[in-house]
Amino acid sequence: MQPIDRRRIPAMAREAHWQAADGHSIRRIDWPGAGEERRGSILFLQGRGDHYEKYLETLEEWHRDGWRVTSSDWRGQGASGRLGADAVTGHISDFSRWIDDLAFLWERWKAETPGPHVLAGHSMGGHLVLRAAAERRVDPDAMVLSAPMLGFTNQHLPVALMHLVAKGMARIGDPRRPAWKWSEKPGEMPASRANLLTHDQDRYEDEAWWREHRPDLVMGPGSWGWVERAYASMRGLFEPGVLEGVKVPVLLLATSNDQLVDIKAIREAARRLPHGELVEFGEEAHHEILREVDAVRDRAMDAVANFLAQVAPAR
């Protein structure tokens, strides 16, 4: 089998745009035909500031395993415009807008693809996928969540108090302004960022390569509005009965070494989900488990394959 070139759109994949309910143009990529086997369909959503180019390796592997694969930007990032006060800050007025977009895409994508239908997401994408299922806006046969953003790490104060601080910061100035500083040059990635995401330097450098060749992918920090709405959305998921209402099988991949999202919140979600299954990594993995060194990534991909073989067998 041919090796996967992470810096090239696969020959079978097709890039296009879809129109949200309000007409906003959002980018997507599709592998319209399955591989030798016909397993079903996977819709994958990325994290904050991400773009699907970072996950071409994973998406292509799923396709080669027989899945019909689609990935989409979130509005306001990737190559789907910006909603902040400048060209690089990630902003959203409310996470419900992204939930509306996902629900709109889901109904159309589900109608045009073979089942079983699997919904997958990384980090913020994992959070939004889970929230959409909890709100019954989507009805997947199974879900896969990679390092889902269910809480922030390094919180030195109670979450409710941190949320209150974020509310104040969003109100005293333009909520679209950046909430943190990355570097002297807007959108430029700080040197220490790799230590948060992956131990694999080559895979980490893929992102910079794509940003250089597709400058509209460049994104920097999130806005104070994004931070405040993230707290509100995450806290809402942990209200009594919310996670318990998600009845479909859910695989969660997470690492105790994550410096971005809270492993304790992920463990709690796995316990409360009626059909939740957690595969946990340690020091060997940073936040982007699906872009880690081969030994870690292979274990994660095998866990996904085994999970889907059990809960979403080909029809």
Instruction: Dump pLDDT digits (tens) for 234-266.
Output: 999 999 999 999 999 999 999 999 999 999 999
| The pLDDT value given to residue 88 | 93
Range name among 96-100, 126-130, 309-313 with the lowest pLDDT average: 309-313
Q: Which two tokens stand for residue 152?
A: 């922030």
Q: Residue 102's pLDDT band (boundaries 50, 70, 90)?
A: very high
| The pLDDT value given to residue 306 | 97
- The model carries a pTM of 0.96
What are 121's strand-pairing partners? Answer: 45, 145
178: preceding bond cis by omega (within 30 degrees): no
| Mean pLDDT, rounded, for 109-116 | 96
| The pLDDT value given to residue 36 | 52
Q: Residue 53's pLDDT band (boundaries 50, 70, 90)?
A: very high
| The pLDDT value given to residue 188 | 63
Residue 187 has pLDDT above 70, yes or no: no
Task: Give the three-state DSSP class for 116.
Answer: coil
Q: Residue 217's pLDDT band (boundaries 50, 70, 90)?
A: very high
| The pLDDT value given to residue 154 | 79
| Mean pLDDT, rounded, for 154-183 | 90
The torsion defined by the Cα of 157, 162, 164 and 170, in degrees rounded to 10, comes to: 150
| The pLDDT value given to residue 194 | 85
**DSSP H/E element including 25:** strand 25-31
Rounded distance, CA 54 to CA 46, Å? 9
% of the chain surpassing 90 pLDDT: 89
Range name among 24-38, 104-118, 194-208, 221-235 with the lowest pLDDT average: 24-38
Q: Residue 32's pLDDT band (boundaries 50, 70, 90)?
A: confident
Residue type for 144, please?
V
Residues, the chain: 315
Question: Token pair 């509100």 is at which residue?
Answer: 232
| Mean pLDDT, rounded, for 13-21 | 98
Residue 34 has pLDDT above 70, yes or no: no
Angle at 28 between CA 144 and CA 120, to 5 degrees: 5
Range name among 10-24, 32-46, 178-192, 271-285 with the lowest pLDDT average: 178-192
DSSP H helical segments within the chain, as ranges?
A: 56-64, 95-112, 124-134, 159-171, 194-197, 201-213, 224-237, 263-272, 294-311
Rounded distance, CA 232 to CA 92, Å? 13
- Sequence-separated (6 or more) residues with CB below 8 Å from residue 33: 12, 68
Residue 161 has pLDDT above 70, yes or no: yes
| Mean pLDDT, rounded, for 118-130 | 98
| The pLDDT value given to residue 33 | 73
Question: Token pair 């949200």 is at which residue?
Answer: 20
- Sequence-separated (6 or more) residues with CB below 8 Å from residue 77: 48, 49, 50, 51, 90, 219
Query: Closest by alpha carbon to 127, among 296, 243, 38, 248?
Result: 243
What counts of helices (H) and strands (E) characterise the chain? 9, 8
**To the nearest whole number, what is the mean pLDDT of the chain?**
94
